[in-house]
Amino acid sequence: MPVYEYRCSACGQVFEQWFVSMARAQQARPQCPACGSRRVRRKIAAPQRARVGEGAGAVAEEETPVSEPRLFGRKELNEVIQQKKKQGLL
């Protein structure tokens, strides 16, 4: 059963939606539980890890913390370029 995370464009609410199959997930038009709007966008979610030795679908006890993507400005971009040049990749 696929589970997707959505964010409402109208009110900003983040919610999860479970689907019976991938086909139903692709056809779905989820509705925000907070305001009822259908203006929702699917978010990119971090995958869950399975525990070794457990059955399919078992979730690891320690979830990987989800962090916001790092913002790159001109300074950070130049630093990355310099590192790649030193490594001979550019």
Over residues 8-60, the pLDDT tens digits come to 999 999 998 888 887 888 888 899 999 999 999 988 766 666 566 555 555 54
Q: Which one-letter amino acid corresponds to residue 54? A: E
CATH class of the domain whose range is 1-46: mainly beta
Backbone angles phi, psi at 6, to 5 degrees: -125, 155
Average pLDDT over residues 69-82: 80
**Model confidence band, residue 1 (pLDDT cutoffs 50, 70, 90):** low
- The pTM for the full model equals 0.48
Sketch the domain layout of the chain as residue ranges.
1-46
Q: Which one-letter amino acid corresponds to residue 62? A: E
Give the Cα separation of 57 and 70 in Å (integer). 30
Give the Cα separation of 23 and 86 in Å (integer). 47
